[in-house]
Structure 1
Amino acid sequence: MFPKKATDTAVLAGIQARPSAIAGYEDWPDHAANNPHVPDSPAAKLLAETLGVPALAPNPGYSVEWEVEDNNVVTSKLTWQTGFGPRTSAWLVKPADATGPLPGILALHCHGGIKSHGAERLVGMPPGVAEQSTHDDGTASGNSLGPLPPGLRSRLYDGRPWATWLARHGFAVLAHDAFMWGSRRFTLDPLPYRTAHTLAGQEALWREAGVVPSDAERYNAAAAAHEETVAKAATLLGSTVAGTVAHDDLVALDILASLPGVDAGRLGCVGFSGGGGRAMVLAGLSPKIRSCVVTCMMTTFESLLPAYLDAHSWLLHSPGLSGLGEWPDVVARSSAESVLVQYGLRDELFPEAGMRDADSHLRRAMAPGRYTGSFWDEPHVFTTAMQEEAAAFLAARLQAEPPTQASARTTP
């Protein structure tokens, strides 16, 4: 259980034993040491080396914990071990009436400032199993930090369980918890020193405001501060936060390709916000991705200086990445046959000039028909209309059933 108060931890109680700064991941250093992921293509190899992607465990396998058919879709809870850290939880969603191999989509959850929960935000849980939706310690089913934080899905995904909705249109959709999120979160019990001090300050603000935070709110406040520590650890191990997250995404992609009823020759990925960054990197690392959708996560590095640096996490800021060019170059050098990038003109995390420059860069760098860019008069959100455009794009490229299109809301 997460500590009730930061003042209960060893750092503020005067205990001399220094708590682990990577609790739950003590085996991470041994796995990462001199054990890099080496893709086949030169471009993917350079990206993997820059991000320090750890090697993938051979044949990780997976377990099916439950499978439920409800409202014309079949939802399955899968778990697997990546090779280090806690066991991964994931959800496979597919149409109940599927008769042949389906195109597979890896649905990549956003950052959202919420690490207590991961891919659950994308999945409509069948009745009676929502309370079991996340592994807590790799062996027990159930999330001790409770249900999804109120408003998370409505704030970021227009209220729609995106992966479940997408599955209804002829896809097998796999959504997994990434490194640092949900089942793959750090224990943070007891809190590391710096994290404890930061949380103590937040708790003082809560007390002053008369707020009684939930365990999930307390964990997420701690995890936000702890991401700096994770970035330090990754640097010491010759990796990065983005590279270690990419490791988890590559494992999930291999599992998706191996699943019964999935056509391994028709695979795509899609992500919003931090998930969009993950989609870019995954497409840049794996030739298995034929089609990729990036939503509200594209700009130039220059546009982030000086005002937008603190708008983003370590998923965006990877040491050495600028040596390979710009964020658009990660997409342009990928082997993906088709890429859709959706921009929000009122996105508070990216300046419009940076998005426009990235769009121009991609149009110059990619062959005609390979890149599609759409601009939406929206803030940082994956609206249902944007989701429908993304689904139609994937359906056309991967030969799935196209969804009914909403009225166009794109702007030139």
Structure 2
Amino acid sequence: MPARPSAIGGYEDWPGWLRGRELHDGDETTRAVARLLGVPRPEPAHVRTAGAWEQDGVEVTELHWSVGFGPPTRAWALRPAGTAGPLPGVLALHCHGGVKSVGAAELLRTPADPAVAQRARRDLYGGRALAKDLARAGFAVLAHDTFGWGARRFTLDPPPSGVQSALAGAEALWAATGTTPAPAELADTRYDAAAAAHEHVVAKAAGYLGTTFAGMVAYDDLVALGVLRGLDGVDADRTAVVGMSGGGGRAAQLAALDPRLTAAVVVAMMTTTQALFPAHVDAHSWLLASPLGPDWGLPRLAAGRRRHDLMVLSFDQDELFPSEGVRDAHRELRERYAEPGSAALEEAILPGPHAFPPEAQDRAVEFLVRSLR
């Protein structure tokens, strides 16, 4: 009988690493969310430099580190060229996008610049490289591949048994419709088709291990936030997170898990949980489908302790969220930030579909400049 392929390729050390590990801890908010999501306590990472270059007035350094299990993390640190003094730090979080072959590469233009990263920038960011624009605005920026994406992706060759049929179905559909990806994109697109089905396997594995898919992503993000604060030339007391779609959900989680944040920007990821039922439950990934329960929806996560400045931008033609859920969530945010002692809130429901267009990016950069300076 042939050997059954690994269902967690590249992460065979994950169960042993997680066994007996303490959960992330802190104040009441941190403790509650960490326990609901099963977020392990982050450990300092040993960071090494893998290369550096200058592009469009921005110094870019490629960094690698291990979070303790699975493949190493790859990240890029960006800052305005020629700056030495401490700058406020921004952790830029890539989206989900149904694309796991790349991660943070969608937020900048790397020397390799994969075709799928170019497509993500074109379709979701108006062709702009958000991390580079943030650096040009005067920030030290870190963009990293998180758990399951880019350098941190799972090995799916050969695909696990439960993924093989989904991949075969995708390939048959391409052939039948004449939409087989171009050679430059074929390998990554094929991987992404397999990874879409495999996310259910990863979520199942996480449940067996006493954690969640979102909790493991949050762990990687907390490690990266620690790396950002430890970089030379970064003011660790002035840090923010920004992301759209799945990255916006990650920003909301970090706002609840890390009380040191100065600001958070959540784009195209805001709704009440109850509004997802019955028609929008299937529109979202395991990043959102987490066992937080009715008390910890996106508005409460993003608001956290209300000690950080918060920007939330949603869109009135976003097909992933019911309009009433978006409106109710923004109303809840206003109510939460109206409480005495709250920091600043900027929120808007803008015209447009599920994306982070240039005008919204400009608005987010201006918000971060005001908040962090």
TM-score by length of 1: 0.86
Shift of 1:259: 0.2
Matches within 5 A, 1:58-73: 59-73=44-58
Q: Which residue of 2 aligns with 1:397?
A: 371
Contact 2:203 2:213 in 1 (8 A): yes
Shift of 1:151: 2.2
Secondary structure at the counterpart of residue 148 of structure 1? helix
Q: Which residue of 1 aligns with 2:303?
A: 332
Q: Which residue of 1 aligns with 2:152?
A: 184
Matches within 5 A, 1:247-396: 247-319=219-291, 321-334=292-305, 336-366=307-337, 367=339, 370-396=344-370
Q: CA RMSD in A?
A: 1.4
Deviations 1:145-200 (A, max 9, x none): x5435522110011100000110010001000011100000001111111001111
Q: Which residue of 2 aligns with 1:122?
A: 107
Q: How many residues align?
A: 366
Structure 2: distance between partners of 1:150 and 1:110: 14
The AA in structure 1 aligned to 2:33 is L
Contact 1:44 1:334 in 2 (8 A): no
Please point out which of 64, 71, 74 is paired with 1:89: 74
Contact 2:106 2:118 in 1 (8 A): no
Deviations 1:220-256 (A, max 9, x none): 0000000000000011111111100000000000000
Structure 2: distance between partners of 1:175 and 1:167: 11
Structure 2: distance between partners of 1:369 and 1:236: 39
Structure 2: distance between partners of 1:109 and 1:325: 23
The AA in structure 1 aligned to 2:350 is W
Contact 1:86 1:183 in 2 (8 A): yes
Contact 1:283 1:335 in 2 (8 A): no
Q: Which residue of 2 aligns with 1:25?
A: 11
Give aligned-pair identity as a percent: 47
Structure 2: distance between partners of 1:52 and 1:391: 32
Shift of 1:351: 1.3
Structure 1: distance between partners of 2:313 and 2:178: 40
The AA in structure 1 aligned to 2:312 is V
The answer to whether the aligner puts 1:158 opposite 2:132 as a matched pair is no
Structure 2: distance between partners of 1:285 and 1:369: 17
Gaps (5+ residues) in structure 2?
none
Contact 2:57 2:80 in 1 (8 A): yes
Structure 1 stretch 175-184 or stretch 62-71: which is displaced more?
A: 62-71
Q: Which residue of 2 aligns with 1:138?
A: none
The AA in structure 2 aligned to 1:358 is A
Structure 2: distance between partners of 1:268 and 1:245: 17
Q: Which residue of 1 aligns with 2:142?
A: 174
Shift of 1:360: 0.9
Structure 1: distance between partners of 2:226 and 2:209: 24
Contact 2:272 2:299 in 1 (8 A): yes
Shift of 1:326: 2.2
Q: Which residue of 2 aligns with 1:136?
A: none
The AA in structure 2 aligned to 1:283 is A
Structure 1: distance between partners of 2:326 and 2:343: 20
Structure 2: distance between partners of 1:115 and 1:325: 27
Q: Which residue of 1 aligns with 2:172?
A: 204
Secondary structure at the counterpart of residue 62 of structure 2? strand
Shift of 1:336: 4.2
Structure 2: distance between partners of 1:229 and 1:160: 33
Q: Which residue of 2 aligns with 1:229?
A: 201
Q: Which residue of 2 aligns with 1:244?
A: 216
Deviations 1:104-140 (A, max 9, x none): 0000000011000000000123xxxx22x7xxxxxxx
Shift of 1:369: 5.0
Q: Which residue of 2 aligns with 1:140?
A: none
Secondary structure at the counterpart of residue 173 of structure 2? helix
Please point out which of 48, 64, 73 is paired with 1:79: 64
Secondary structure at the counterpart of residue 364 of structure 1? helix
Contact 2:228 2:234 in 1 (8 A): yes
Structure 2: distance between partners of 1:38 and 1:228: 24
